[in-house]
Amino acid sequence: MSNQEERPPAQTGEVKGRRRRPLVGVSFKMYFDLPRTQSYMDQSLEEVSNLLDRLVDPPQVFFVPDFVTLSTVRSKLDSRVASLPGGSACSSSSLLLGAQDTHHEDSGAFTGEVSPKVLRQVGCDLVEIGHAERRSMFGEDDSKVSLKAAAICRNSMIPLVCVGELTRSEDVGRVVDECWSQIGPVLESIPDDSELILAYEPVWAIGKQQPASPDYVVAVTTEIRRRCVQLHAKPDHLVRILYGGSAGPGIFEKLKQGVDGLFLGRFAHDPKALAETVKEVGRGLKPQD
């Protein structure tokens, strides 16, 4: 598949079954050059495609490379799926492609920007917006994030919206208020029946050696979910919440009461670490394995 007309709208969760499917993703940020992206994808797909069929609850796995390598990664995802037998848990709905940003208009005089329409045409399923690095270094504010979220939905993709507080606080209500100031405008800007993925990434926990503590993450994400469903009346099955911020193997078990999966950075640069995390989010190997 190579163009928008041939691709059905991205539907990353199991919306019809009203079940929130577990989800694991990795952003390459600007860490990888072209050969590294290619070798990382080859190794990761080898690891992950051998694993998904053996898991109790196979998660969806998404990759977020830079703009230039989106088509390369798309081709690798498609080739891997095509090489597997029908009925494999490793299918086109379980290996997803994301972009790291988008413009909010589909076309126009916006030199250097990338259109959400083109992102869909090259085969993106989701688009990351509002990452802390883009908020702090590139002026991405809540109003731009909302416009981008609407554009992503309009182009049949899923917004992956990064939110998080700048500094750690013992006051969960204060932390969630700060996150809610980022989430509320997004919920207002997208259709009620659109899927949304929230990546809760406390800014103070990004790029560190350790993630935020499990109790902290579960308290914040539980309250974020409550507000989405009760304050905004967003259907529960349409919002998945991931944790990101120095996440890696060994933490999902402690966070699973609050999150549907993880959004990884550096600690997925080793494809085996990505596979280990996929295994944990997928509730481990089936008994016969």
Ligand X SMILES: O=C[C@H](O)COP(=O)(O)O
Q: For binding to ligand X (CB under 6 A), which residues are involved?
A: 27, 201, 206-207, 244-247, 263-267
What residues act catalytically? 131, 201
Main-chain phi, psi angles of 127, to 5 degrees? -135, 125
Question: Other CB atoms closer than 10 Å to residue 231's CB: what's the count?
Answer: 11
In the complex, minimum distance from the CB of residue 128 to ligand X, in angstroms, rounded to a whole number: 7
DSSP 3-state of 12: coil
* Distance (Å, whole) CA 202 – CA 13: 24
Nearer to ligand X, 234 or 266 (CB): 266
In the complex, minimum distance from the CB of residue 230 to ligand X, in angstroms, rounded to a whole number: 28
Question: Other CB atoms closer than 10 Å to residue 59's CB: what's the count?
Answer: 26
Nearer to ligand X, 90 or 264 (CB): 264
Which residue type is seen at 244? G
Cα–Cα distances in angstroms (integers) from residue 153 to residues 119, 133, 149, 160, in the given order: 12, 23, 6, 11
In the complex, minimum distance from the CB of residue 182 to ligand X, in angstroms, rounded to a whole number: 15
In the complex, minimum distance from the CB of residue 106 to ligand X, in angstroms, rounded to a whole number: 26
DSSP 3-state of 198: strand
- R_g of the chain, CA atoms, integer Å: 18
- DSSP label at residue 240: E
Cα–Cα distances in angstroms (integers) from residue 182 to residues 176, 177, 220, 234, 287, in the given order: 10, 9, 14, 16, 42
Nearer to ligand X, 90 or 268 (CB): 268
Nearer to ligand X, 123 or 245 (CB): 245
Question: 84-111 burial by CB neighbour count: b if 16+ within 10 A, else e?
Answer: eeeeebbebbbbbbbbbbbbbeeeeeee
In the complex, minimum distance from the CB of residue 238 to ligand X, in angstroms, rounded to a whole number: 22
Which residue type is seen at 57? D
Nearer to ligand X, 47 or 201 (CB): 201
